[in-house]
Amino acid sequence: MTQTAATDDVAIARRAYYERIGEHKLTPLWEVLHGLVIPQPKSACMAALWHYDDLRPFILEAGQLITAKEAERRVLILENPGMPGQSRITTSLYAGLQLILPGEVAPAHRHTQSALRFVVEGSGAFTAVDGEKAIMEEGDFVITPSWTWHDHGNDSAKPMVWMDGLDIPLIQSLECSFMERAAEDSQPLSKPVGDSLARYGAGLLPVDYEPQSRTSPIFNYPYRRTREALETMRRVEAWDACHGLKMQYVNPATGDYAMPTIGSFMQLLPKGFNGERYRATDATVFSIVEGEGYSMVGEERFDWVKRDTFVVPSWVPYSHHAPKGDAVLFSFSDRPVQKKLGLWRESRGNR
Ligand SMILES: [Fe+2]
């Protein structure tokens, strides 16, 4: 018998064996192992960039096609081109751009998915969470914690657009999605505007305060304050070679991330910044708050301006550059989950 014939015999025997064990709901690990346990992350998530100027006409057009109430949430999903039809921007996170027109209401509901809102355009619309209204301005970072009632409205004279970031795919894979709609579109308000920020965000906590959830008790982290902090800190000139000056949003009661499943960050790149290469296992979504510049993501160059969004997949090296002037970048990822599980890794430079 030739060697080829012997190999064919083995292949035929194995196939027949796989078919027989398949009838018993069994399958051989050795045929799939190399795809399951891989030497380093290899994601279906692709690097991608969305220019806001290209998207804005489509977002406003949606405002003529469907009301916020009819849509429940009028959002265009920023869908990763590597995972079409899956409503996700990274493997674990969802992102979209939501439009609220003057006078509209996005009715109250609650769900186990945690959400962040990052205000991209407009001023004066609100998100109500747990009986408190947060008036939103550009650059504000707003949280609707898991299982809290929330509704959105716009009492201003102009459209407002914000980026939604949710842990939808993560909750989907864990199969713990619950959702309820409220009887009324707008929830009753029980607290004054700014209550949570005053109570928990002034470097103070109510005496005897015990956290009631894993999410920050602050609903709105105003950009005005974030920007002021960055501007004051820059005077020390202590720039990180990869990140410039990068801060993370925290839960003031625990020091942990502001949300249990999503880490959120704000960073300042000074004029002339040429960042070194960096990579981490948390695929990250960036939204440009101020300025213009570019990022190298793998071999691709993404030129960005204010309000653009781009995504960097897990473990792909990237660097930020701001040749023309200061730039400010907001970003979010699933880093808290990876860190809690002891899985998160990063590497700097060419290592
Ligand atoms: Fe919601």
**pLDDT above 80 (res 1):** no
Contact predicate 73/106, CB 8 Å: yes
Task: Give the per-residue pLDDT at 278.
Answer: 98
Task: Give the per-residue pLDDT at 351.
Answer: 54
How many whole angstroms from 305 Cα to the centroid of ligand 1? Answer: 28
How many whole angstroms from 40 Cα to the centroid of ligand 1? Answer: 34
How many whole angstroms from 235 Cα to the centroid of ligand 1? Answer: 39
Task: List, in order, residues 6 or more apart from 71 with CB less than 8 Å away.
Answer: 62, 106
Express each pLDDT in 114-150 by its tens digit. 999 999 999 999 999 999 999 999 999 999 999 999 9
Express each pLDDT in 75-106 by its tens digit. 999 999 999 999 999 999 999 999 999 999 99
Task: Give the per-residue pLDDT at 142.
Answer: 98
d(CA 62, CA 50): 17
Q: What is the 3-state secondary structure (H, E, C) of 173-230?
A: HHCCCCEEECCCCCCCCCCCCCHHHHHHCCCCCCCCCCCCCCCCCCCEECHHHHHHHH
**pLDDT above 90 (res 51):** yes
How many whole angstroms from 51 Cα to the centroid of ligand 1? Answer: 25
Contact predicate 234/267, CB 8 Å: no
Q: Residue range 304-314: average pLDDT?
A: 98
pLDDT band at 3, cuts 50/70/90? confident
**pLDDT above 90 (res 29):** yes
Residue type, 256: D
Express each pLDDT in 192-236 by its tens digit. 999 999 999 999 999 999 999 999 999 999 999 999 999 999 999
- Residue 143: strand, helix, or coil: strand
